[in-house]
Chain A
Amino acid sequence: MAEQSMPLWEVFIRARTGLAHRHVGSVHAADAEMALQAARDTYTRRGEAVSIWVVPSAAIVASDPAEKASLFEPTASKIYRHPSFYEIPEEVGHM
């Protein structure tokens, strides 16, 4: 009989203060505390972190890649959101 599986946790690491947490992989653990420790022992063996997040993998809601076009392409036409859209005379200086 296959044994009950250990829950899966996604691991996020902040490499240095000031940086955002970045996804690095996953670990298996029965609960949050053990997941945090497993993440520490697995993903920070070379001083890669100042902070760790672990999140139950099942708690992550992801967008559907098939909807990439409808989700992300409409923004491409909104060029007025970018600073280069506006013309400011050079004499005004940096803005």
Chain B
Amino acid sequence: MYTQALNEAVERPRVVEDPEKLAAFQARIDAEEKIEPNDWMPEAYRRTLIRQISQHAHSEVVGMLPEGNWLTRAPSLKRKAALLAKIQDEGGHGLYLYAAAETLGVSREELYEQLLAGKAKYSSIFNYPTLTWADIGCIGWLVDGAAIMNQIPLCRTSYGPYARAMIRICKEESFHQRQGYEIMLTLCRGTPEQKAMAQDALNRWWWPALMMFGPPDSESVHTEQSMRWKIKRFTNDELRQKFVDATVPQAHYLGLTIPDPELRYDEATGHWRYGKIDWEEFKRVIAGFGPCNRERLEAKRKAHEEGRWVREAALAYAAKQRARAMAQKIAAE
């Protein structure tokens, strides 16, 4: 998902936790109590959360770019307004999430520096290009659809600030997927060229969308601990299956073909069984070798560098104002 790289093994913290405190902490989690910023928490819990929330935040802000690519070419004023509002929401969601991460004792600047330095991960999906207008439809329908699958259970995640940010995000995102599906529907009911555009976009976005849920459970390193801490409530494969089951009928309604020759309905279980995912591609894109990794980070670095003088000016002005207020106070005394 937006935090799929969490599934990679990382160095375990060397802190030895007090077993009594650990047990009390686990008891609180088991009792469905929310953990709040100043509460005692195991170092590994804090670190997992910082990584997960910041990856999620990075995904939101990098995710502004592929859609932003079509902002100036949106084909109607209504679509332009909806797309701008949607991308703006994503920025807002990034902001809520950075704010949640900051309650764990890291600064946004620090997290953002990690992103720009290429040291932090974000969702692999945003390293794919948006080549036609139908890609905007597909992103809303599939990418936001997959994100919602993941985010709804996160509203109940054990860390209070994260859960509250997710509730806000889910509420605001409810229009995003509908926006995308409506674009697809309009294309599929349009000219043959438009329908072909829709099919082409689905062909390119389907597999990357399935990869958003992260590696299969059998290869996922952190799932078990994250489940025990109730940071995560469903496994990658469970969520992926839910997504496929929900999405296949939607594609059929559009009259589009899912680009998976092995896709078939399993009467016994009521699930859609899908073919093999190319995990080599997934690993490659996560490792930085997707079609647009370089461009995405470059765009963010450029904006950050070009904005430096603006941030410096704002801080310098604030410092001057404080000094002026101080001087006035002294003069008055």
User: Are B38 and A6 in contact (CB-based, < 8 A)?
Assistant: no
**B96 pairs with A25, CB closer than 8 A:** yes
Min C-beta distance of B191 to chain A, whole Å:
35
Indicate whether A42 reaches chain B with its CB closer than 8 angstroms: yes
Interface residues of B in 88-117 (CB under 8 A from A): 88-89, 92, 95-96, 99-100, 102, 107-110, 113
Contact of B318 among A3, A28, A31, A45 (CB under 8 A): A31
Question: Provided the pairs A3-B311, A31-B318, A62-B38 are in contact, do residues A46 and B172 lie with their beta carbons within 8 angstroms?
Answer: yes
Chain A residues closer than 8 Å to B102, beta-carbon distance: 8, 26
Given A30-B317, A34-B314: A5 and B40 interface contact (C-beta under 8 Å): no
State A29–B107 Cα separation when bound (angstroms): 13
Interface 0/1 of B149-177, CB less than 8 Å to A: 00000000000000001001000100000
Q: Is the CB of B95 within 8 A of A27?
A: yes
For the complex, count residues of A whose C-beta is within 8 A of B.
Answer: 23
Q: Are the CB atoms of A4 and B315 closer together than 8 Å?
A: yes
**Beta-carbon contact of A65 and B40 below 8 Å:** yes
Chain A residues in 8 Å Cβ range of B182: none
Q: Which residue of chain B has the shortest Cβ distance to A26 in the bound complex?
A: B99
Residue B295 at the chain A interface, CB threshold 8 Å: no
Residues A28 and B108 in contact, CB atoms below 8 Å apart: yes
**In B110-132, which residues have CB < 8 Å from any A CB?**
110, 113
Asked if B311 and A6 make an inter-chain contact with CB atoms under 8 angstroms apart, the answer reads yes
The 8 Å CB contact of B92, one of A5, A7, A42, is A42
C-alpha gap A7/B88 in the complex (Å): 22
Instruction: Provide the B222-264 mask, 1 if CB < 8 A to any CB of A, else 0.
Output: 0000000000000000000000000000000000000000000
Total of A-B residue pairs, C-beta within 8 Å: 54
Q: How far is the CA of A12 from the CA of B261 in the complex (A)?
A: 53
B-side interface size class: 20 to 34
- Whether A66 is near chain B, meaning CB under 8 Å from some CB there, is yes
A3 to B307, CA, bound (A): 12
Q: How far is the CB of A50 from chain B (nearest CB, A)?
A: 18
Which of A4, A25, A46, A65 is B99 in contact with, Cβ under 8 Å?
A: A25
| Chain A min CB distance to B233 (Å) | 23
Given B107, B308, B314, which contacts A5 in the complex, CB threshold below 8 Å?
B107
Let me know if A73 is at the binding interface, CB within 8 A: no
Q: Is the CB of B108 within 8 A of A31?
A: no
Mind listing 5 A-B residue pairs with CB under 8 Å? A3-B312, A6-B109, A8-B102, A25-B99, A45-B92
Q: Residues of A with Cβ closer than 8 Å to B?
A: 2-8, 24-31, 34, 42, 45-46, 62, 64-66
